[in-house]
Chain A
Amino acid sequence: KAGVTQTPRYLIKTRGQQVTLSCSPISGHRSVSWYQQTPGQGLQFLFEYFSETQRNKGNFPGRFSGRQFSNSRSEMNVSTLELGDSALYLCASSSGQAPSLTDTQYFGPGTRLTVL
């Protein structure tokens, strides 16, 4: 079974631009979560999508948005980029099936975003 894939792996943008990151979950998984990882803040939860609906959202400004398609693929968009948005963005998928208490998340390799 193929793992979680993220594209692109690396991105360099300038301040004020916008960026779209893509995540393809493991086949059959319906839940996709996004995280921002930085050296200072660690791993911070952005949002989670399940069956094309956002189920939960972390404490990030509205410049960070996402969506999920009917095939469970997800995209994350960051508008008006700031220097502080430079980070590794990780996507994780899980089955999302109820009522499991052990719904393990499987992570992709991440997209390294650098904002200049």
Chain B
Amino acid sequence: GDSVTQMEGPVTLSEEAFLTINCTYTATGYPSLFWYVQYPGEGLQLLLKATKADDKGSNKGFEATYRKETTSFHLEKGSVQVSDSAVYFCALSVKLNSGGYQKVTFGIGTKLQVIP
């Protein structure tokens, strides 16, 4: 079956440090890949997405590249801020039928703590 693997954390970084959160996946078919972010007390928000190999999704200084050969979609940011403290979820979506139905599978979530 489909699965997404990411470290649970917490990942603790100092402000302005470089961030990498690894995400690897297994999927039947050709998935779309997503990163969602969940700030304390809130629901999930879409951070970025990529729909085909070598696509790079980017938003708010975060970016991730769809690597089909390594089945990975690692999240990176060059300089983190305290306001980036949140839980980050990697997810994949696979189209199941011609009707457009999609099944979404989430990783466990990685908690990021950024300290001043």
Tell me which residues from 36 to 94 in chain B have a Cβ below 8 Å from any Cβ of chain A. 36, 42-46, 49, 51, 89, 93
Whether the pair B43, A107 counts as a contact (CB closer than 8 A) is yes
The minimal Cβ–Cβ distance linking A32 to chain B, given in whole angstroms, is: 13
Whether the pair B106, A42 counts as a contact (CB closer than 8 A) is yes
User: Contact partner of A107 among B44, B49, B105, B108, CB < 8 A?
Assistant: B44
Which single residue of chain B is at the shortest CB-CB distance from A9? B41
Q: Please tell me the size bucket of the interface on B.
A: 20 to 34
Whether the pair A100, B49 counts as a contact (CB closer than 8 A) is no
The minimal Cβ–Cβ distance linking A95 to chain B, given in whole angstroms, is: 9
Segment at the interface with A among B11-19, B20-28, B96-104: B96-104
Q: Chain B binding site: helix, strand, loop or mixed by DSSP?
A: strand
Task: Judge if A99 is at the interface, Cβ distance under 8 Å.
Answer: yes
Which single residue of chain A is at the shortest CB-CB distance from B89? A43
Which single residue of chain B is at the shortest CB-CB distance from A4? B43
User: Contact partner of A45 among B100, B104, B107, CB < 8 A?
Assistant: B104
Whether the pair A101, B107 counts as a contact (CB closer than 8 A) is no
Bound form: Cα–Cα A104–B43 in Å: 15
Which A residues lie within 8 Å of B32 (CB)?
A: 101-102
The minimal Cβ–Cβ distance linking B106 to chain A, given in whole angstroms, is: 4
Which A residues lie within 8 Å of B44 (CB)?
A: 43, 90, 92, 107
Contacts from A to B (Cβ < 8 Å): 4, 6, 33, 35, 42-43, 45, 48, 50, 55-56, 90, 92, 94, 96-110
